[in-house]
A and B are shown apart, each in its own frame.
Chain A
Amino acid sequence: MFNGLTLGALLVIVAMGLTIIFGALGVVNFAHGALYAVGAYAGFVAYEYTGSFVAAMAAGAAFLMLVGIVIERGLIRLYYQRPKEDQILVTFGVGIVLVEGLRAIFGGLNRNLPAPSWAGGIVNLRVTLYPTYRIDVLAIVGLSLVLLYFILYRTRLGLIVRAGIEDQLMVNILGINVTRTFMTVFGLGAMAAGFAGVINAPIVTVSPDMGADVLVQSFVVIVIGGVGSFWGAVVGGLIAGEILSLAAMIEPAYSQVALFAVMALVLILRPQGLFGVQGRQ
């Protein structure tokens, strides 16, 4: 149960990036898993040079913000007016280019980003021993969510983003500089993915394909939680983490199946997702 919480926390932060981008820009970002992997590698490189995990987190987030902005300016912006299928194809393509780029630079070997020294040990939770780092992840994710919440709900940028999620046309009509906002939003989304990549790296292994599963799972998270909803991503992520973890303890072969079954159930009973708003584009 507790394990599901840490698993879910990681999903929350990846899904958050996806849901912000989709909500505000209407772009289904299939490159999100690849951005997550790029983030992990950026963190890995920073760690190799500095030996500091905090530097790795900062580098992963900052570098991915930059990558996100470059991708948005260079490519995605040309696709806002094009059909959804084109957007899916182009982001899918970007994802492949990024993953293969990683493979070309770093090779296929699994890389290791160790847990920071202040979180290396094991704690005794009475019922079981548990890695300290996984508990710290909860705190790290919690903190970054608070920060993101602040940006989205307490700043002018957040207001525009949320307004964009509700009614893009209206925001345009009000004469707000959407170009810059869109760029920032995509950068923020990519940053969330990259950050998640770094904090997940000490748990999983760093390899070019590491984002593939995460992409699928975070789509499930936002479908369960409701597309474009902050709280939807949070609750969806935690639910998905619990399902994966509990199902794996009972009947491992069905843990992924259980996840999709729950998603199907949500789609039948509440198609807009738990926290979604009906009829949103």
Chain B
Amino acid sequence: MAQRKRNSVSRRRVLQGAAAAAGTLPFVHVSSGFAAEEAIGNWPAGAAGKTVFVGVTTPLTGPYSADGVDHLKGYQLAIEHLNEGKGLVEHMPTLKGKKGVLGKKITYKSADTHTQPNPAIQAQTGFITQDKAIMVTGSLNSAVAIAIEKLAQRYKVINMVGCSGANETTGVDCQKYGFRSQPSAWMAAKALAPVLGKEIGKNKKSIYLVPDYAYGHSVEQSTGEFTTKELGWKSLGSQVCPLGTTDYSSYLLNIANSGADVFVNVAFGADAVASCKQAKQFGILDKMKMVVPNISAFQGKELGPEIMGGVYGTMDFWWTLAETNALAKVFVDTFHAKFNYRPSWPAHIAYTQMMVWADAVTRAKTFNPIKVIAELEAGHKLQMPLGEVWYRKEDHQQVRAVPVVVGKTKTEMRNEDDFFKIVGLTPGPEVMPPDFLGCKMPTSA
């Protein structure tokens, strides 16, 4: 009997518990309405303290190391400016008068990628899992950039892509967590083609030197597409070489004997320097016009006006924009004061990507990546050193002007960094690929 009674009590308790649970159901429902506030990626753990961590990877060794050093300096300057409320921060409505991002100081670590995806992935994995990075950024090579995009997507951490010119970065390999500011090969080619038509002419024969990875093939394809379609140029083929080649003689012999009018050199970084220098030695530059669709950061400085004078190409940014844009002047002058030379474009990408991210976080009032993505996708038009910029929701490519430049001759140079003249600044909306280059952006993060 006693036992029975205990059982019945127990049963009653169960029923009470059930009723209580049912009573709280509306509350449970309310809290599930906050599902977006649940932990995601490194949020909120990575933003719990007084600082937030940003993981930076740049190549300090390998063929793109010179560009990588410039890239890293851009990050250093941006983080210093954000933490102290200086530089461009003083001119941005959302950030003006603030120190840190949402009051938190930014800390960072940087790692050397050796211009290869594997070390970059190792380093960023460490930054994300050990240092609880709230954002990752940096790269100088599309193979690295695409690898980091996939990693950041897996860990659900915002990735402000560094330097990457391949179409795939915001095309077929686009990611919800990745945002790129550099013009894609497609955009660069679209901006470049009219200038080439005007300066070099129509119906020319061209030949390509192509580094064998995503970027090289992207640039060859896009430059070929626009020069064929708009200028009637005919491609005589391409010489595909491995990344990091030091001796280009075999390829250059083929190019020299091809009978082309225009030599399109897609090689980048140290490879661009070596191949241009050797092209000069093989007499190619005397009989053909050279076009470099995407000119490396220090190609002017390393090769000098004797080789780069008269060479056409595009750049993400060139410091003489400071003469026409007040914000570019702020960036160029503060950089010049700190590092004693005028910044090249990898530093510009690093600097502005940090600023754009800080702006989005400030608008979102949280580091929650989902809300930050929403702000970046919202298309807020920001005044930056290039003029007005914003991100496209469909492929996370920044809509921004593309500078077309030509190398200056020695007599045209006004100072030791004055290697290029800006011959065109094509507005962003005019060069955006209408079909998103195969990007299928998921609607939710």
Residues of A near any B CB (own CB < 8 A): 3, 6-7, 103, 107-112, 115, 122, 128-131, 133-134, 203-205, 207-210, 213-214, 244-246, 248-249, 252-253, 255-256
Contacts of A108 in B (CB 8 A): 60-61, 65-66, 68-69
- 14 A-B pairs with CB atoms under 8 Å apart are A3-B250, A107-B66, A110-B270, A115-B281, A128-B253, A129-B282, A131-B278, A203-B247, A204-B274, A205-B277, A208-B65, A209-B270, A252-B212, A252-B240
- Output the nearest chain A residue to B68 by Cβ-Cβ distance: A108
Q: How far is the CA of A248 from the CA of B275 in the complex (A)?
A: 15
- Output the nearest chain A residue to B271 by Cβ-Cβ distance: A205
Q: How far is the CA of A115 from the CA of B254 in the complex (A)?
A: 22
Once the chains bind, are A205 and B270 in contact (CB under 8 Å)? Answer: yes
Once the chains bind, are A122 and B281 in contact (CB under 8 Å)? Answer: yes
Q: Report the minimum CB–CB distance from A42 to chain B (whole Å).
A: 19
Once the chains bind, are B283 and A122 in contact (CB under 8 Å)? Answer: yes
Q: Which of B151-205 contact A (CB under 8 A)?
A: none
The answer to whether the Cβ of B364 comes within 8 Å of any Cβ in the partner chain is: no
Q: Given known contacts A109-B298, A129-B282, A248-B250, is B242 in contact with A253 (CB within 8 Å)?
A: yes
- Output the nearest chain B residue to A210 by Cβ-Cβ distance: B246
Once the chains bind, are B249 and A205 in contact (CB under 8 Å)? Answer: no
Once the chains bind, are A203 and B68 in contact (CB under 8 Å)? Answer: no
Once the chains bind, are B250 and A249 in contact (CB under 8 Å)? Answer: yes
The answer to whether the Cβ of B239 comes within 8 Å of any Cβ in the partner chain is: yes
Interface size on B, residues (CB 8 A): 36
Once the chains bind, are B246 and A131 in contact (CB under 8 Å)? Answer: no
Interface centre among A7, A111, A205, A244 (most CB of B within 10 A): A205
**7 tightest A-B CB contacts, nearest first:** A248-B250, A131-B281, A108-B65, A122-B283, A204-B246, A129-B283, A110-B302
- Output the nearest chain A residue to B287 by Cβ-Cβ distance: A129
Contacts of A210 in B (CB 8 A): 246
Contacts of B257 in A (CB 8 A): 128
Q: Given known contacts A115-B281, A252-B212, is B247 in contact with A107 (CB within 8 Å)?
A: no
Number of A-B contacts (CB under 8 A): 99
The listed residue (B63, B66, B282) touching A130 by CB distance below 8 A is B282
Q: Which of B231-257 contact A (CB under 8 A)?
A: 239-242, 244, 246-247, 249-251, 253-254, 256-257
The answer to whether the Cβ of B304 comes within 8 Å of any Cβ in the partner chain is: yes
Q: How far is the CA of A136 from the CA of B270 in the complex (A)?
A: 25
Q: Report the minimum CB–CB distance from A116 to chain B (whole Å).
A: 12
The listed residue (B62, B241, B304) touching A252 by CB distance below 8 A is B241
The answer to whether the Cβ of B303 comes within 8 Å of any Cβ in the partner chain is: yes
Q: Given known contacts A122-B281, A128-B253, A131-B281, is B304 in contact with A213 (CB within 8 Å)?
A: no
Contacts of B281 in A (CB 8 A): 115, 122, 131, 133-134, 203
The answer to whether the Cβ of B301 comes within 8 Å of any Cβ in the partner chain is: yes
Once the chains bind, are A7 and B249 in contact (CB under 8 Å)? Answer: yes
Once the chains bind, are B247 and A252 in contact (CB under 8 Å)? Answer: no
The listed residue (A129, A208, A248) touching B241 by CB distance below 8 A is A248
Q: Report the minimum CB–CB distance from A12 to chain B (whole Å).
A: 14
- Output the nearest chain A residue to B239 by Cβ-Cβ distance: A252
Q: Quick one: CB contact mask for B210-236 with A, threshold 8 Å, 1 for yes?
A: 001000000000000000000000000
Once the chains bind, are B240 and A253 in contact (CB under 8 Å)? Answer: yes
Q: Quick one: CB contact mask for B44-72 with A, threshold 8 Å, 1 for yes?
A: 00000000000000001111011011000
Q: Which of B256-307 contact A (CB under 8 A)?
A: 256-257, 270, 273-274, 277-278, 281-283, 298, 301-304
- Output the nearest chain B residue to A7 by Cβ-Cβ distance: B247
- Output the nearest chain A residue to B274 by Cβ-Cβ distance: A205
Q: Report the minimum CB–CB distance from A195 to chain B (whole Å).
A: 17
Q: How far is the CA of A245 from the CA of B281 in the complex (A)?
A: 17
- Output the nearest chain B residue to A249 by Cβ-Cβ distance: B250
Q: Report the minimum CB–CB distance from A170 to chain B (whole Å).
A: 41
Q: How far is the CA of A112 from the CA of B298 in the complex (A)?
A: 13
Contacts of A203 in B (CB 8 A): 247, 249, 278, 281
Q: Report the minimum CB–CB distance from B9 to chain A (whole Å).
A: 75
Q: How far is the CA of A52 from the CA of B246 in the complex (A)?
A: 24
Q: Report the minimum CB–CB distance from A67 to chain B (whole Å).
A: 21
Q: Report the minimum CB–CB distance from A248 to chain B (whole Å).
A: 4
Q: How far is the CA of A214 from the CA of B378 in the complex (A)?
A: 51
The listed residue (B62, B66, B282, B301) touching A122 by CB distance below 8 A is B282
Contacts of A245 in B (CB 8 A): 249-250
Contacts of B270 in A (CB 8 A): 110, 205, 207, 209
Q: How far is the CA of A176 from the CA of B303 in the complex (A)?
A: 52
Contacts of B273 in A (CB 8 A): 110, 205
Q: Report the minimum CB–CB distance from B424 to chain A (whole Å).
A: 28
- Output the nearest chain B residue to A246 by Cβ-Cβ distance: B250
Q: Given known contacts A112-B302, A112-B303, is B212 in contact with A253 (CB within 8 Å)?
A: yes
Q: Report the minimum CB–CB distance from A196 to chain B (whole Å).
A: 13
Once the chains bind, are B249 and A134 in contact (CB under 8 Å)? Answer: yes
Contacts of A129 in B (CB 8 A): 256, 282-283
Q: Report the minimum CB–CB distance from B217 to chain A (whole Å).
A: 12
Once the chains bind, are B301 and A3 in contact (CB under 8 Å)? Answer: no
Interface centre among B65, B250, B253, B274 (most CB of A within 10 A): B250
- Output the nearest chain A residue to B210 by Cβ-Cβ distance: A252
- Output the nearest chain A residue to B115 by Cβ-Cβ distance: A209
Q: Report the minimum CB–CB distance from B383 to chain A (whole Å).
A: 32
Extra contacts besides A128-B253, A205-B302 (18): CB < 8 Å: A6-B249, A107-B69, A108-B61, A109-B298, A109-B301, A109-B302, A122-B281, A131-B281, A133-B281, A203-B278, A205-B270, A207-B270, A214-B246, A252-B250, A252-B251, A253-B240, A255-B242, A255-B250
- Output the nearest chain A residue to B284 by Cβ-Cβ distance: A129
Q: How far is the CA of A131 from the CA of B283 in the complex (A)?
A: 8
- Output the nearest chain A residue to B246 by Cβ-Cβ distance: A204
Q: Given known contacts A110-B66, A110-B273, is B60 in contact with A3 (CB within 8 Å)?
A: no
Q: Report the minimum CB–CB distance from B148 to chain A (whole Å).
A: 21
The listed residue (A7, A205, A209) touching B62 by CB distance below 8 A is A209
